[in-house]
Amino acid sequence: MEILAFGVQADEQPLIERAFAGHHPVRCLDVFLNEDTAPIAAGHEAISTSVNCDLGPRVLEALAAGGTRMTAQRSTGFNNIDLAVAERLGMTIARVSSYSPYSVAEFAWTLAMAVNRRVVRASTRTRDFDFRLDGLMGRDLHGRTAGVLGTGKIGEAFTRIAHGFGMRLLGWDVVENPACLELGMRYVTKEQLLAESDLVSLHVPLLPQTQHLIDADALKAMKDDAILVNSSRGGLVDTAALVTELRAGRFTGVGLDVYEAEAGLFFLDKSLEAIADDTLARLVTFPNVLVTSHQAYYTREAVGQIVETTVRNVLDYTAGRRSENVLVPRS
């Protein structure tokens, strides 16, 4: 059984090919799954997808018509998959329930420090041999307050780093994490966290109830000089509302590794095209904003774990086994 993998990055391909060797042949494609590319999967019982692939109703129906019965998504998030339609079609859906939390937590801190210390602006200047310090002043984070929205494995890893910086720790989640409590974290309401935090970092999944968790009201509740970091899912932040606040001169810095309308943009080279997304085009013009292309997870360790789990998910499917990674079981 040949596995067809969509949306494979160049660095990812050799890892996927080595992991599947001796199990199933695999064909890697750099194109993303959508309505136009779904016919490529015809005749493939199992496929693998990335988080920016489209697995909405029309795509799932096209896959099912072509004989696809199993999709192994190479990510933790699955908001791009219509699970109800997949179940109706009898299609098995699996994901990667966990991988290195340090990859994302460390990158979230990379974004926070980069915007705080104006690293991108400084690097751009020195390339032009401009060594002035004007406009590059940051601030110590020691003694300031870090607000962590979502204290699961990644949020906990982020909290440990914040503790190392000597920061006061505030948390918000439906369940308190004992490890974070041991570090001195105090759980508060979202409103209190936003009002008191100098640094706010998002580590919650994108669900209907967390869509635009950081909306216009939440942004207004934050300190004018706060730093906001989102390395989780783009839909957690109302980007149009964020642009409005940035235009008003608010926030020391904003670091975004994800964007709510990133599908069709991120992971692709759009450098020679006009970007029709006015919100994104405006967002990247602010000097205190740093946008990266959903790369927080992109370490050798994390990608290696993602690929290994994906292979196990396919092997479990062929053997009729079920694991914690299965979102829609085999019918």
Is 262 an annotated catalytic residue? Answer: yes
Amino acid residing at 44: H
- Provide the phi-psi class of 133: left if phi over 0, else alpha when psi is between -120 and 50, else beta: alpha
Amino acid residing at 237: V
Half-sphere exposure of residue 111: CA atoms within 13 angstroms, side-chain side: 30
CA distances from 140 to 144, 145, 160, 230, 278 (A): 8, 11, 17, 21, 34
Catalytic residue among 45, 156, 260, 262: 262
Catalytic residue among 233, 245, 260, 312: 233
Give the number of residues written for the chain: 331
Distance CA 114, CA 116 (A): 6
Query: Where are the extended beta strands (E) located within 184-307?
Result: 186-187, 199-202, 227-230, 253-256, 289-291
Distance CA 163, CA 149 (A): 15
Is 245 an annotated catalytic residue? Answer: no
Half-sphere exposure of residue 93: CA atoms within 13 angstroms, side-chain side: 26
Sign of torsion over alpha carbons 9, 13, 15, 17: positive
Say which DSSP state 169 is in: E
Catalytic residue annotation? 233, 262
